[in-house]
Chains A and B, each alone.
Chain A
Amino acid sequence: MVVSRSYLLGASASVVAGAALGGALQVTVPGARLYMEVSPGLAAGLVGLVVAGIAAAAAWVRRRAAAVTARALRRAAAETARDRQRFLLRLDHELKNPLTAIRAGLANVQSAEAATGTAYALASVSAQTDRITRLAGDLRKLAELETRPIETAPVDLPGLLHEVAEAANEIPAARQRSIRVAVPRAPWPLPLLDGDRDLLFIALQNLVANAVKFSGPGDAVEVRASEDGDALLVEVADTGAGIPPDEIGQVWEELARGRAARALPGTGIGLALVRVIITRHGGQAAIRSRDGQGTVVSLRLPLPGRAETALVVAGPRQRRDTPGKAAP
């Protein structure tokens, strides 16, 4: 605030000084031409005014930018806090259920008279322990993927997609789905991607496995790839159950499991894993879904230094008539 006032002061002082020293503005008319004679004082005043104006504007822009940044940071911090809160609640939930089951199972073992009861309780305790083990393992995978160095090499995306589809066909439920891979060959084959093939495999495999998991017999699963300027686009689409609107905002978060997924095995780490892998590759992941109709996940993976491809965008032809004529 102090700064801005001093700039205003400086600006008005320059104007006053310029006007006072310049005295009058002389206008002469020699021949047909018009000259303006400006006193050195006024010139200095005007320059001062312009400089002060620029400085004031720059300070204002800086302050605005700082305010915008601060607001964005506050928003991001609040968002992070909310994410963290949601994550802890989910973790709590994911741990509580198996732990409750384990305690109940152990209580049964301690008071069991019939040997059959003991065997059942122990099997249940063992299964719940596996569940917690899987959860711990999945969380570690995520944490590791976020930090470990990525080993990049040229990746042949079509080959990878076919391998992913092949692996997906080995999932027992996949037999009643049709899984198709569509990769363009014209006008030229898809360029090579720079990435970690193993990690990309895992991301794509997760998406296709999800598509199989959340669809039923007779549903279609499509894996498509295309080139879009400086990136490759990959889509994994299905005609499955879709995601309810109130759940779609959270699908990329750790341990997020929709109501439909509760009955299915899994720890809710798959899409978070996909997100981490794709962002580690400098890419973006997005999801669109219609409840009851299907889901499509789109990945955008940047391509390394591209050979120039000429691009001419067609726009609407210039119209001679004025717009609004054909209004109603």
Chain B
Amino acid sequence: MTGAPHPRPVVILADDDEAITSNLAAFLDRAGFAVHVASDGEAALDLVERLDPDGCVLDVLMPRADGREVLRRLRASGRWLPVLLLTQVGESGERAMALEEGADDYLNKPFDPQELVARLRAVLRRARPGRRPLSAAPTLRAGDLRMDRISRRAWLIDAELMLTPKAMLLLDYLLTHPDELLTRDRLLEVLWGFDFPVGTRAVDNRIAELRRALRDDPGQPAWIETVAGQGYRFVARVDDGR
């Protein structure tokens, strides 16, 4: 934008609460983004049309096209820019929908602004300009592992994996966020939508379930690597299934 060697990424921030956009926009600006604010969904779509931004932060609850509708319309028109949804209700259904509709990530309100910056940087880094993001792909492939995200089924070579719904949700998140350090707290939020006082064992249990199903050796992981004291990383290369 400024002609600098590394231009500031252009990001659209859409939320109808002025108290939120004014404070967040200033924060994102200081964090190195060129922020444009939209106060409703239609305005956000107009801005995407005009500016061809690098990414979008959409609140779910907005007048004149809510965040999910904006996301649907963007994807339907073949725009694959990274989208981060700000969810309010925190219901598991809403999260699942956000992922199914091709959001690259989501964040529950109220959140730490630093966390928004970290997620935004991560989705921008992951973005493959002009190509469909993994999070919007209906099927994914990683070596011998295949996942149909719509029917929530997965196969290793030809054998279907028998997983609990939560383990499947976790696998979906790992596959759509490959090669990223995912903290236990983050994964707990994926599974449950909120942080439990002491519940990160719940994540470890599901990871163990996935490793058993994938016959992964934690000592020599081909799929899921443990990052000591921090969390997990999906280490296999993931591709769009089609």
Contact = CB atoms under 8 A, between A and B. Distances in A.
Interface of A: 133, 136-137, 140-141, 144, 148, 151, 153, 163, 167, 170, 197-198, 201-202, 205-206, 209
Given A136-B110, A201-B201, A202-B196, 19 more contacts: A133-B110, A140-B90, A141-B194, A144-B91, A144-B92, A148-B92, A151-B166, A163-B201, A167-B201, A170-B198, A198-B192, A198-B202, A198-B205, A201-B199, A201-B202, A202-B197, A202-B199, A205-B199, A209-B198
A144 B193 CA distance: 9
A185 B75 CA distance: 58
B96 to A, nearest CB: 11
Nearest to B110: A133
CB-CB nearest 7 A-B residue pairs: A198-B202, A133-B110, A140-B90, A141-B194, A167-B198, A148-B92, A202-B196
A206 B199 CA distance: 11
A133 B90 CA distance: 14
Interface in B185-207: 191-199, 201-202, 205
Interface string B136-147: 000000000000
B63 interface: no
Contacts of A198: 166, 191-192, 199, 202, 205
Contacts of B90: 140, 144
Contacts of B192: 198
Contacts of A144: 90-92, 193-194
B31 to A, nearest CB: 19
Interface residues of B, number: 19
Contact of B164 (A137, A141, A153, A163): A153
Interface of B: 90-92, 110, 164-166, 191-199, 201-202, 205
Contact of B197 (A133, A140, A209): A209
B131 to A, nearest CB: 35
B194 A151 contact: no
Nearest to B166: A151
Main secondary structure on B side of the interface with A: loop
B191 to A, nearest CB: 8
Contacts of A163: 201
21 contacts: A137-B194, A141-B196, A144-B91, A144-B193, A148-B91, A148-B92, A153-B164, A163-B201, A167-B198, A197-B202, A198-B192, A198-B199, A198-B202, A201-B199, A201-B202, A202-B197, A202-B199, A205-B197, A205-B198, A209-B197, A209-B198
A272 to B, nearest CB: 14
B92 A151 contact: no
Nearest to A205: B198
Contacts of B205: 197-198
Nearest to B192: A198
Contacts of B202: 197-198, 201
Contacts of A167: 198, 201
